């Protein structure tokens, strides 16, 4: 399978691809400059390659940076429409779950920093190397997240892109930065049945209700 996949939902741009057995990879060390760096990075990775041989284009549809998500989703829609390539969408937190090593039966709590002292979370369970969603992505305030961690008594893996405010003996923590492995595992699952066209790709924006912000 040939593909190219972009993640603009997080602070640093990451692009992962595969073309005729060759791995394609770009990780931008600069922060939140996706509108400037995305297209040149794609052009460089695809230089001399035939877009007609690309089977799927993947995208992290969120949650994450509002502007970053919009840039990624819009870019992928354009490529999908012009090149007639199906889109494989996924979310940031399942990408975290696939990015770390786990064995069947293990529970993975994924946490992604948001702005304004908020945290995106989701929970997955490894079922024969497929991450089954136990708790769908949602956003918590910092206080709610600390309370959530305090309630966890069983052994869990925690994949987070920030330092946890609470550490317990039953937590096995892995700090997330690059997600090349997670993206590769997700893209290996792309099929005609779980991909969409440019008209049906929707971003995943999650926000704390204003009433909670005001508490």
Neighbour count for residue 195 (Cβ, 10 Å): 19
The DSSP output letter for 196 is B
pLDDT for res 11: 92
Pairing of strands 56-60, 3-7: parallel
Neighbouring-strand partners of residue 3: 18, 56
What are the strands, taking DSSP E only, across the chain?
3-7, 14-19, 22-27, 56-60, 86-90, 107-113, 118-127, 130-141, 156-160, 171-175
User: What's the rounded mean pLDDT across residues 97-115?
Assistant: 95
What pLDDT, on a 0 to 100 scale, did the predictor assign at position 98?
Answer: 98
Give the global pTM: 0.94
Domains by residue range for the chain, with CATH: 3-91+179-207 (3.30.420.40), 92-175 (3.30.420.200)
| Residue 72 pLDDT exceeds 80 | yes
Q: What is the mean pLDDT of residues 184-213?
A: 86
For the chain, give the percent of residues with pLDDT over 70: 96
pLDDT at residue 21 is higher than 50: yes
83 sits in the region (left: phi over 0; alpha: psi -120 to 50; else beta) called alpha
Facing residues of 5 across strands? 16, 58
Radius of gyration of the chain, Cα coordinates, nearest whole angstrom = 17
Alpha-carbon span 85 to 171, nearest angstrom: 41
- Higher-confidence position of 101 and 214: 101
**What would the pLDDT profile of 157-194 be if each residue is shown by its tens digit?**
999 999 999 999 999 999 999 999 999 999 999 999 99
Tens of pLDDT, residues 121-137:
999 999 999 999 999 99
Q: What is the pLDDT of residue 117?
A: 84
Question: What are 18's strand-pairing partners?
Answer: 3, 23
């Amino acid at each position: 399978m040939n593909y190219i996949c972009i993640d603009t939902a997080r602070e640093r741009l990451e692009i992962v691809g595969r073309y005729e057995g060759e791995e394609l990879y770009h990780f931008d060390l600069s922060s939140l400059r996706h509108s400037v760096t995305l297209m040149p990075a794609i052009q460089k990775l695809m230089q001399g390659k035939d877009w007609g041989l690309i089977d799927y284009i993947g995208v992290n549809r969120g949650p994450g940076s509002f502007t970053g998500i919009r840039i990624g989703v819009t870019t992928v829609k354009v490529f999908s429409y012009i090149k007639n390539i199906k889109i494989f969408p996924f979310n940031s937190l399942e990408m975290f779950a696939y990015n770390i090593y786990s064995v069947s039966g293990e529970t993975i709590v994924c946490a992604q920093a948001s702005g304004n002292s908020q945290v995106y979370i989701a929970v997955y369970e490894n079922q024969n190397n497929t991450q089954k969603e136990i708790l769908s992505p949602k956003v918590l305030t910092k206080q709610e997240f600390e309370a959530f961690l305090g309630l966890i008594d069983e052994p869990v893996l925690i994949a987070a892109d920030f330092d946890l405010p609470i550490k317990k003996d039953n937590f096995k923590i892995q700090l997330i930065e690059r997600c090349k492995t997670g993206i590769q595992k997700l893209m290996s699952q792309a099929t005609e049945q779980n991909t969409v066209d440019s008209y049906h790709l929707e971003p995943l924006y999650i926000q704390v209700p204003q009433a909670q912000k005001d508490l």
